[in-house]
Amino acid sequence: MAKHFSDTIKLDTYVRTILLECVSLDKTSLIPVYLSMFLNASKRDMTVETMAQMGLMRSFYSPTLHEKHYPGNSTTGEKRLTLIRPSFMVALDRRLGALQVDDHVRQTYMISGQWKENRLALAVYLAKNNVPPLQLLGALRGRVRRVDKFSTPGESALEVLELRSRDAAKSFAQAVLASFDAPEAKDPRIEVALWRAESAREAVRWWVE
């Protein structure tokens, strides 16, 4: 199996890391939780039910345990222990956030039989929010890569990412606006200038981290 979580961590590496953490910290009961979250989040097309389940699991397992320190110990107060690795929850939040945006777009603007009426509203939504759905991000993935692969002598990683972000932002703006260039679809609220590089960087951050 070569499933990926956020396209960065292969399943075999993920399992080895999680097994080591769960066994060494005596959290073996969380192994199936990690695996379930991983396998669900690796799906490209998640149903509303799956997203709701993921959200419930995230809410249930993210609270912290409290380890009390009794008199006589070197420290006082409480030590907070996370149930799920924080970096995993951050990656999961990114994945869920992108998918929830996608689901909102589908439910609001892509209702069967109403595409013609909703296409302008969809264009305005995308332009105003600077949040492309996963399908369009997937089409742009070839333009956004890890910066270390493109860094050259005298060029910092941030400069490379900025360049790639601008490239992706411009391409995405053109792709969106090209779909709504019919005379009846013109609207002053849709402006290419809205696609700032910093906004694009936030939108595609989970592709490159």
The pLDDT of 194-204, averaged and rounded, is 46
Residue 73: alpha-carbon gap to chain centroid:
42
Please name the residue ranges forming H helices in 130-183.
Answer: 134-140, 157-178
Provide the token pair at 201.
């960087």
Rounded distance between C-alpha atoms, residue 203 and residue 209, angstroms: 12
Mean pLDDT comparison of 17-26, 158-167, 171-180, highest-scoring range: 17-26
What the block records as the tokens of 17 is 């890391």
Q: How far apart are CA 88 and CA 18, in angstroms?
A: 10
Residues 6+ apart with CB under 8 A from 127: 173, 176, 189, 190, 191, 194, 195
Beta pairing partners, 79 = 67
Sign, CA dihedral 26-28-33-39, equals positive
pLDDT at 141 over 60: no
Helix axes 197-208, 157-178, angle to 10 degrees: 100
Reported confidence tier of residue 123, pLDDT bands at 50, 70, 90: low
Domain boundaries defined on the chain: 4-97, 114-208
Q: What is the pLDDT of residues 34-43, one digit of tens each?
A: 777 776 666 6
Report the mean per-residue pLDDT for the chain: 58
Q: How confident is the model at residue 21 (pLDDT cuts 50, 70, 90)?
A: confident
> In a 10 Å sphere around its CB, with 0-12 CB exposed, 13-18 middle and 19+ buried, how is residue 84 labelled?
buried
> What does the pLDDT average to over 32-51?
68
